Structure 1
């Protein structure tokens, strides 16, 4: 997990644990969103709304079909954060 931004990991994990009741020990980068974390498509949308509210980052032009595991979300939010600081 060291190659993910620690702040991003904490934000994502807190949202999943507090809002979706995902056990903390299940929050690992390789956890599959549907199979391991039991998130359905509505949860996925809600999660991104909460992430946008928490981070102020709006994930536009993202192929959400490619997001399969928790590491993909860490990476996406990290990239959004870096993109905003560069621009």
Structure 2
């Protein structure tokens, strides 16, 4: 079971390594599409990477409402609770 902090750290690593986002630009309040400049293809790549790391199947509809880094942390935390 991962803590929310561990999930956040994992997510930050993905955003930095895979999407070349500056660590200083990432916070819980950062919006994925506006501030971090991800597009829909990046979002799909992010979901795939999160599935690989968590070993959990992520339903696309669960991620449709995700807008911020905190939303992603909440979604992954919820998946890990199942």
Shift of 1:61: 6.5
Return the alpha-carbon distance in structure 1 between the equivalents of residues 6 and 63 of structure 2.
22
Counting only pairs closer than 5 Å after superposition, residues 1-87 of structure 1 correspond to structure 2 as 5-60=4-59, 62-83=61-82
Q: Which runs of 4+ in 1 moved over 3 A?
A: none
Unaligned stretches of 5+ residues in structure 2: none
Give the TM-score taking structure 1 as reference length.
0.84
TM-score normalised over the length of structure 2: 0.89
Q: How far off is 1:19 after superposition?
A: 0.5
State the Cα RMSD in Å. 1.4
How many correspondences in the alignment?
80
Q: Secondary structure at the match of 2:61?
A: coil
Mapped contact 2:51–2:57 kept (Cα < 8 A): yes
| CA radius of gyration, larger in | 1
**Structure 1: unaligned runs, 5 residues or longer:** none
